[in-house]
Structure 1
Amino acid sequence: MNDAAAHFAARLRFETDASDVRAAQLAGDRFVLVDSRGDAAWAQGRAVGAIHLPTARIPSEAGDRIPAGTPVVVYCWGPGCNGATKAGLAFAEAGYPVRELLGGFEYWAREGLPVETDDGPVVRAADPLTAPVREPVCDC
């Protein structure tokens, strides 16, 4: 494999996007979606189906909450934040297969995917700069 192919193959092993995660949820794939942000961020809104496990608590709580060997997808705020990278490292160090959700919660919400708050579901229209508004998938 040439260097470029190895690079992109590695990225696909360790990164994913909101559309692919939602498709995996709907297909019933076995994984845990983890919101690694703090309590205030979680209360403000999170991806439907996510569990809340802030990065600092991953080393002490992951083993009690997520069975060993379960694939994990982590997210934080968005592309300007490296919180998901830190959470991914913590899960990897704990021995979990882990991927980072590119774009984080920002792109999950901007793509019009299901969001909930402590008060219930939130319906958001897809942002035409991040997702097709007339088709259910981006075809990428």
Structure 2
Amino acid sequence: MNTTDTHRALDYFKAKVEFSTGPVELKHMLDVNDDINIIDVRYPADYAMGHIPGSINLPSDQWDNLDFLSHDKTNIIYCYSGVCHLAASAALHFAGYGYPVMELDGGFEEWKKHDFPIVT
């Protein structure tokens, strides 16, 4: 790894820490009623089978419908798992419109692994 790579790595991990959150942190935000907006970008059928309490389903074909996002709250976005890039793509899309965004690390699968509440 050369100096350029280490600078890029520093930038990457600094942004990752600043713009992502884990399931434990999200659960805490929900428990203390932090002013957040949770966006589930999975398919509607998957959302219907189970989702994080308080989340709003906004699949990729509806990303131009910005009515569900907030400029005044942090919009926490999640998809299926850590290998799914829908949440990152959505975060990039919404940030381009000036919305504050974070990505849930590990997505819905990681939330379930912690046995946190699920709404069906």
The TM-score by the shorter chain falls in which range?
Answer: 0.7 to 0.9
Q: Which residue of 1 aligns with 2:19?
A: 14
Does 99-108 or 47-56 show the bigger shift? 47-56
Unpaired segments ≥5 residues, structure 2: 1-5
Q: How does 1:59-70 map to 2 (within 5 A)?
A: 59=64, 61-62=65-66, 64-70=67-73
* Distance in 2 separating the partners of 1:67 and 1:85: 17
Deviations for 1:34-86, whole angstroms, at most 9, x for unmatched residues? 10011111111111121111123122x22x22333421010000012111111
Q: Which residue of 2 aligns with 1:94?
A: 97
Which residue of the other structure, out of 49, 53, 60, is the alignment partner of 1:55? 60
Q: TM-score, normalised by structure 1?
A: 0.74
| 8 Å contact from structure 1 (residues 35, 52) kept in 2 | yes
* Distance in 2 separating the partners of 1:91 and 1:67: 10
| 8 Å contact from structure 1 (residues 15, 99) kept in 2 | yes
| 8 Å contact from structure 1 (residues 69, 95) kept in 2 | no
Does 7-16 or 25-34 show the bigger shift? 7-16
Q: How does 1:4-43 map to 2 (within 5 A)?
A: 6-43=11-48
Structure with the bigger RCO (C-alpha within 8 Å, sep 6+) is 2
Offset at 1:5? 5.4
Higher strand share: 1
Q: Within the alignment, does 1:75 sit opposite 2:49 as a pair?
A: no
Could you say what secondary structure the match of 2:63 adopts? helix
Could you say what secondary structure the match of 1:46 adopts? coil
Q: Which residue of 1 aligns with 2:3?
A: none
Q: TM-score, normalised by structure 2?
A: 0.85
Higher helix share: 2
Q: How does 1:84-123 map to 2 (within 5 A)?
A: 84-117=87-120
Unpaired segments ≥5 residues, structure 1: 118-140
